[in-house]
A and B are shown apart, each in its own frame.
Chain A
Amino acid sequence: MIASRGAPSLTSEITKLVAIAQITLRSRFRYLWDMIGSTLFLAVVMFVFVRLWTVTYQSSAGAGGNVKDVALAGFSLAQMIWYLVATETIIMSMTPIHRLIEREIRDGDVAIRLNKPYSFLGFHWSVFLGEGLLKACILIAVGGVVAAIMVGGVSFSLGSVPALVLTFILTSTLNFFFGAMIGLLAFWTEDVTGFYFIFDRVKWLLGGFLMPITLFPEWLLSVVEWLPFSLMIYQPARLAVQFDWNVWAELAMKQLGLILVLGFLAQSMYRLGVRRLDVNGG
């Protein structure tokens, strides 16, 4: 009996994390309309993007040219807009995990989780993923409606949906560890807002959030290809509009590798940080 109460097995750990994700999903369903309301902002964002890229494609087509014949960085206008729906879905589906972790550390709430039978980062990852999956469905619906009305659809195979769901989970996990590492800096600094602005916006810019990285100049593209950010935004979003099984498999392998690296770094930061923790009061 005593032996069975030692370190939890991987299966029981996963079962706990899945249960936490399910509970989060159920609780967020209670506030579904609030969530739908807050994602309506995406309609405004997409409207502005459609206008910006329509004007860009029109000027590239030239006087008398047809916008539908123009491809920029391998994207037609419709694909460009759907690509942006995908990047917005990835980014807007994420809860501000850096802020949650920062608050728990600063307020001392992190101490409450120390004696719980699950890992600190695992708990937050489950909540992050549970909420992210629900938000992503709503965001795709809102963004998709705007895109479909304004530029029409793009070719899409329903068979790719399970693979894309897996890609979304891997992408969310990568972004989770990235955000968590920023939040964990709160063990060492008073406020992580400044770090968040810097690291997160670098990720946006070099990850292809606002435009595909293939529109970057050659010198920058060669730099960006060595950085992890495109795995967090550009590559999964491009896969959503130009699906290919070989690309999917290659992307999944790269993302898994990076998850292991970031996961290890985040866990190490947490362990080092907890040693410095002083909590007063009760």
Chain B
Amino acid sequence: MLRFLAAMMRTGFASAIEYRSSFFTQVFGMMINDSLWVTFWMLYFQKFPVLNGWEKEDLFVLWAVITFSFGIAFGLFAQALRLSELIAQGQLDYYLALPKNVLLHILVGQIRPANLGDLFFGPTLLFFFVDMTPEKWWWFLVGGVLGGLVYLAFFVMAGSLAFYMGSSEGISSGIGNALIHFSTYPTRIFDGWTRVVLFTLIPAGFIAEVPVELVRRFQWGDLGILVVGTAAFSSFAWFLFHRGLRRYESGNLIVMRS
């Protein structure tokens, strides 16, 4: 299975880099996009140095973690963003006819250069702006990968709604954007029921809070919470997709794979 994933990603990467100037423009463009968001927070913290116990460096860790996670999820598994469209238009036939797992095959079908920019941005930000130790780098990698899996699982769940609702592109992208938006702000600004929502319905807490805490001050309890949360969301996404696949109807389309 790992050999299959690696081979698919190699092919996807070769295909993406075929248009070299476009590839590098997208990668660097996204890195500049991310750095401008970080600049906004630098300006904010220059005016207001503490935000509910968080300081500028904590925000750098947050942005490093979420961009790295986002890069893993959608730079390497870009088709997760198009899942509802593929289902609604009946474009899964190609994957159904092959002996590999349908969901994995769909997910690794495309590399997205712009989000590879996110993937590179996170470690770069930490390298230049945060005082890191080898231990912190390790927990950054662990937290980032697990956060990426939560992003991926959530988008698979959102995309799988198309099996049950037909055309769900609007609602799928809407709830996906809600997760992205919540995860780009320190979850410490939320309280009460909102925090419950951020660890259940819109799991931004597993992306923007727990991985950041792993880097800031590691605790085994936080790691346990993150592992259990990631496993739960990934399993539910797997279940929801394969359950929905039984309801799939082909569009009888002849499509070109790119």
Chain A contacts to B: CB under 8 angstroms: 34, 37-38, 40-41, 44-45, 48, 51-52, 55-56, 59-60, 189-191, 193-198, 201-202, 204-205, 210-211, 215-217, 220
Q: Closest residue of chain A to B190, judged by CB?
A: A51
Across the interface, do B32 and A198 meet the contact criterion of CB distance under 8 Å? yes
The interface residues of chain A lying within 8 Å CB-to-CB of B232 are: none
Q: Closest residue of chain B to A73, judged by CB?
A: B47
Q: Taking A51-B189, A201-B36 as contacts, is the C-beta distance between A38 and B29 under 8 angstroms?
A: no
Across the interface, do B43 and A197 meet the contact criterion of CB distance under 8 Å? no
The interface residues of chain A lying within 8 Å CB-to-CB of B30 are: 194, 197
Most chain A CB atoms below 10 A, which of B47, B114, B177: B47
Q: Among A37, A56, A194, A205, which residue has its beta carbon within 8 angstroms of that of B26?
A: A194
Q: Taking A34-B170, A190-B21, A191-B22 as contacts, is the C-beta distance between A196 and B47 under 8 angstroms?
A: no
A44-B178, A44-B181, A51-B189 known, 7 other contacts, Cβ within 8 Å: A48-B185, A51-B194, A59-B50, A189-B21, A198-B33, A205-B39, A211-B40
Instruction: Output the least CB separation between B117 and chain A (Å).
Output: 8
Across the interface, do A191 and B182 meet the contact criterion of CB distance under 8 Å? no
Q: Which 5 A-B pairs have the closest CB atoms?
A: A194-B29, A194-B25, A197-B29, A191-B22, A197-B33
Cα(A61)–Cα(B46), bound, Å? 17
In the assembled complex, B44 has its CB within 8 A of some CB on chain A: yes
Cα(A204)–Cα(B174), bound, Å? 22
Instruction: Output the least CB separation between B170 and chain A (Å).
Output: 5
In the assembled complex, B52 has its CB within 8 A of some CB on chain A: yes
Across the interface, do B51 and A55 meet the contact criterion of CB distance under 8 Å? yes
Cα(A280)–Cα(B64), bound, Å? 45
The interface residues of chain B lying within 8 Å CB-to-CB of A48 are: 181-182, 185, 189
Q: Dominant SS at the B interface?
A: helix
Instruction: Output the least CB separation between B158 and chain A (Å).
Output: 13
The interface residues of chain A lying within 8 Å CB-to-CB of B171 are: 37
Chain B contacts to A: CB under 8 angstroms: 19, 21-22, 24-30, 32-33, 36-37, 39-40, 43-44, 46-48, 50-52, 114, 170-171, 174, 177-178, 181-182, 185, 189-190, 194
Give the total number of A-B pairs whose CB atoms are below 8 A apart: 92
Q: Taking A41-B174, A191-B26, A194-B25 as contacts, is the C-beta distance between A201 and B32 under 8 angstroms?
A: yes
Q: Closest residue of chain A to B178, judged by CB?
A: A44
Across the interface, do B189 and A215 meet the contact criterion of CB distance under 8 Å? no
Cα(A34)–Cα(B37), bound, Å? 29
Q: Closest residue of chain B to A44, judged by CB?
A: B178
Cα(A196)–Cα(B22), bound, Å? 12
Instruction: Output the least CB separation between B171 and chain A (Å).
Output: 7
The interface residues of chain B lying within 8 Å CB-to-CB of A195 are: 25, 29
The interface residues of chain A lying within 8 Å CB-to-CB of B21 are: 189-191
Cα(A60)–Cα(B29), bound, Å? 36
Q: Taking A201-B33, A217-B43, A220-B43 as contacts, is the C-beta distance between A38 and B25 under 8 angstroms?
A: no
Q: Among B25, B33, B43, B51, which residue has its beta carbon within 8 angstroms of that of A191?
A: B25
Subset of 26 A-B contacts with CB under 8 Å: A34-B170, A37-B170, A44-B178, A48-B181, A48-B182, A52-B189, A55-B52, A56-B48, A59-B48, A59-B52, A189-B22, A191-B19, A193-B22, A193-B26, A193-B114, A194-B29, A194-B30, A195-B25, A197-B30, A197-B114, A198-B33, A204-B36, A205-B40, A211-B43, A211-B44, A217-B43
The interface residues of chain B lying within 8 Å CB-to-CB of A196 are: 29
Q: Closest residue of chain A to B30, judged by CB?
A: A197
Cα(A48)–Cα(B43), bound, Å? 18
Cα(A55)–Cα(B188), bound, Å? 10
